[in-house]
Structures are given as C-alpha cells and as structure tokens.
Amino acid sequence: MSVGGEAPGMPAAGTVAFAIEDTTSYNALRPLVEALEGDDTVDCEVLWLDSLYPPESGRRVPAKVHRRHDHRLAESFMKRDEPVFTRFPDGLRDAMVQKLLVDRLSHRPFYDTAGYLDAADPDVLVAAMDSIPFLRHLVRDAGERGVETLVLQHGVYPNNLDASVLAVRNGVLSPSFDPVFPPLERLKRRLLYPYGFSVYTNPFVGEVLAMGTFFQRRIAALREEYPCDGTTPVTVTGSPEFDGGVQPYEPRTDSVLYLSQQTYESGFWTEENLDWHVDRLGRLDEVADVTVRPHPKDSAAKMDRYREQVAVSSEPSLAADIADYDVILASHSTALFEGVVQGKVCGVLTVPWDDTETHQAFEPFTHRHIVQVRPGTENLDRAAAERSVETQREYLRRFCYTPSAFEVDGSSSTELVLDRIRERLGDRRLEQVPATS
C-alpha cells in the first residue's frame, strides 16, 4: 500500500499519529494502524494515553496525563476487576472541576500536549473521540500547529445526538437551538462550550468520518448549530471495526449473546436496575442459551452478578464472539452493528428506566430490522422470521455503511478512511512546499 502512488525508497509522505484513549477506540483504529504499519511511505505514530498496552517498539511517546481531572483515563481500562468510572456524585463533581478549571482556564498544567506534539511531529492526527478532555485539547493544539485532524466515529449514545435533550440537559446554561437573544447565546456558548456541547461537535476537528448517512446528517446538523458554522465536513466512511464481509441474514434463535455496557460503572444504573437486568436475562435464558459479553469497562463485581443467572464470555474478539451465537442483543450499543454485518438476529433488550422518547425515536435501535425484546416477548422465533436480507441491507446502508456490500469494486471502510488520511497528508505536504519566485 502506498500514499499518493509513491515508489518504494521515496521520502516518507508524512507522519500519521493515532490517539487511542481506551479499548473501544483501539478496536476502531487498530485496522488503520495495522494497514499503515505496512506502508513504507508513511511514518505511523501511536499515542497510548496510559499504560494499557505493551509499548510499540520505538514508537511510543509518553504523554503526561493528570488523571484526577480526567477520571476516564484510568490505569484499569483493560481490567475487569474494578470499576473504571467514578460513580456519581464524585464523577459528576470531577466533571464540573474539569469544565470550570481546565476548559475555561488552561489545560497546560494538566496535559503535556506540546511535549507530545514536539516529540511526534505529526502531519495528521486521527482520534476516535473529540470530547474527552485530553483529546479535545490535543486536537486544538495540533490544529494550531497546522496539523490535519480527523475524528472517526466509533460509537454513540442516543442522548449525544438529540438536540432537544441537549437543550434541556443543563437548563438555562445549556445551548439553546432557538435563542430569544442570539448575542447572549453566542456569548454563553463561547464561555461555557469552547469545545462543542456534544460528541463530534469539537470546532477544532478538521473532518468527522461517520458510520452511515443517518449519523452524517445528525452530526452535521449539530455542528452547524454551533460552534462550527458548518465548516467541518462530515463524511460517510463506515467503520473499519465492522469491515468484515457481510453475511446474509439467518433467522436462527437458539443462542443469545448480550453485549454489556458500562452503564452501572458510570453511575447510570442503580443497584436495583442491575438486579432487574440480571433477573431479566435469567428469564430469557429459560428459552434460549444466554451469554453476556463484558464491556472493557465492566467491573468483575457486575460480571459476578450476571454469573448467578447466565454464562459470561471470555472471548477477546467481538467479531469471533458474535459468530458463535444466533441472536445478538444490547441495550444501546453500536457494537450491535457487527451482528447485523454477520447476518445475526439483532435486538434491543428494553429496560423500563430507559424507555424515554429519545431512546424510542433513535433509529439505529428502533429500525424495523432490530427486534424490540420487551418483558413477555422472550419468544424470538416469530420476530426473527419477520426480518430479511432486504431489511439487513437497508439497515447497513443507513447506519453502518459497508462498502463491500454495495460497491462493485469491493472497497472497504478501512480503505475509505485511509483515502481520507492520504488526502490530508497531501494537503499538509502542499502547505509545506515553499513558494517559488
């Protein structure tokens, strides 16, 4: 693979740095890293935001991270023996300190972004998130140096892309989408939301690469509201994480894999919520063999609770795990897309405390290809038979675009993203060419 068609032995086209903050972003970016590692014309730099992974030989540049002011960057991200997120109210207090002190005053006492950028000297910076503190400062500092910045969407929660929810979340201090006094609204946003007000709205990101047309429209609409003024392109590339060959839909329902999320560890689920959910999966296990797949941020304590009723998977690969089951269930996880790609029966296991208008209207989890599994509807056979290859393809085209399923040239999401990186490298090189007299 080469950049811009350059022959072997030519000088490197530039340096691409990947900022990886947790295991979910690692899974999304890993195919790109592996592809560029085999490209002699590109220098590939990987920034691990903590000591989760073994250092890449000669390529790791340490980054100083003040973890008290960013409780998401914890040493235990890959462990399952303790919660990673601080449970509320402590986590909420830390978030307020972050917003008031680090965002509004200066991040430089907490994060050595300048040191990293000096050492790595990237031409293009690629991340899978634009809203956690370290990354949003890194993106801004990189942009101020002329570094091209790309953010690859690797997941989303319904509330992150719903303007009506965002507008009321923090009351009068939150962004207003129909302001009575526009000058006051602009001032409020510049004072309180310099890095946007939701995921994928950071104004300093050069381009957002979205999973599908649905996300492209939602993200672009939010960015146009403020503070990006529509200047950042949002491009559909699909997801390198879900880049495998599409398998035709098969309505089998004998076994179930439930994709867990860190809702309990992050404080969104109470002890009672978790107990209810464990019991719910136990009842489903009476009609189909149920296994829970832990989220990388899940705690061992929560998994022990699940083991009282159902099996817990230890398979490291999401794709391999999904391949072994007939039905793939989640609450609200975009990892469900891998199940659709593999032709599995896919569904949302509804819970009463999340049964809000936002979740009911969020199409990736309410589309006709996705089974709604509510109490009393544990028999999945009829629902599975109502889905088809046609609804599967419709779903992929809209939410998780998989080029190989629709394009005659057999392209892939990984190749589409690499094309965007190459174009940014080319733009960067042109900027660095001295003007001739």
pLDDT digits (tens, 9 = 90+) for 112-136: 677 778 878 899 999 998 877 778 8
Q: Quick one: residue 117, left, alpha or beta (phi over 0 = left, psi -120 to 50 = alpha)?
A: alpha
* Contact assessment for residue 132 and residue 224, using Cβ atoms and an 8 Å cutoff: no
Q: What is the pLDDT of residues 37-79, one digit of tens each?
A: 878 888 888 776 543 333 333 333 333 332 222 333 333 222 2
Q: What is the pLDDT of residue 222?
A: 85
Would you tell me how many other CB atoms lie within 10 Å of the CB of residue 142?
25
pLDDT of residue 148: 95
* CA 57 vs CA 11, 20, 44, 60, 61: distances in Å: 22, 17, 12, 7, 10
Q: Give residue 408's pLDDT.
A: 61
User: 147: which residues sit within 8 A by CB, 6+ positions away?
Assistant: 117, 122, 123, 124, 125, 428
- Report CA 88 to chain centroid distance, whole Å: 22
- Residue 69 CA to chain centroid, in angstroms? 21
Q: How far apart are CA 85 and CA 72, in angstroms?
A: 6
Under 8 Å between Cβ of 315 and 293 = yes
Stated as kind and residue range, the H or E segment containing 169 is helix 163-169
The per-residue pLDDT for 330 is 92
Q: Which residue positions in the chain have pLDDT lower than 50?
A: 1-10, 50-93, 437
* C-beta of residue 70 within 8 angstroms of C-beta of residue 132: yes
The DSSP secondary-structure symbol of 14 reads: E
CA 203 from centre of chain: 18
Q: Strands of 124-127's sheet, edge to edge? A: 42-48, 14-20, 124-127, 148-152, 207-210, 234-236
Angle at 78 between CA 75 and CA 242, to 5 degrees: 135
Chain-centroid distance, C-alpha 241: 10
Write the CA distances from 422 to 19, 117, 226, 428, integer angstroms: 17, 20, 28, 10
Treating both helix axes as pointing N-terminal to C-terminal, what angle do 133-144 and 113-120 enclose, rounded to 10 degrees?
A: 50
Q: Which two tokens stand for residue 230?
A: 């529509």
Q: What are the two backbone dihedrals, phi and then psi, of residue 350, each rounded to the nearest 5 degrees?
A: -70, 150
